[in-house]
Amino acid sequence: MSRVCQVTGKRPITGNSVSHSNIKTKRRFLPNLQTKRFFFVEEDRWITLKVSSEAIRTINKNGLASIVKGLRDKGDKI
């Protein structure tokens, strides 16, 4: 599975790891992804999503129904 948030689309980015002697080597910054189960009341079932911690806060704020509607409009099968 790829390391991409299903809600926000966050993905790994690249940057430099800088040592004490200021030597720069390439590294990857990975998003904080969690596999989380949400209970979808409208359909009376559980939904498993791979989401970042920011997406969990967005779901808590806006509601799962609006997020799922947006994902289905985008073409994701949920």
Mean pLDDT of 11-19: 98
Q: Structural domain boundaries of the chain? A: 13-74
Question: 35: which DSSP letter?
Answer: E
Strands (E), the chain: 13-18, 24-29, 33-40, 45-52
pTM: 0.85
Q: What is the mean pLDDT of the chain?
A: 95
Query: Residue 5: which of 67, 51, 48 has the closest Cα?
Result: 51
Q: What is the CATH number of domain 13-74?
A: 2.30.170.40
Mean pLDDT of 34-44: 96
Distance CA 12, CA 17 (A): 15
Q: Is the pLDDT of residue 1 over 80?
A: no
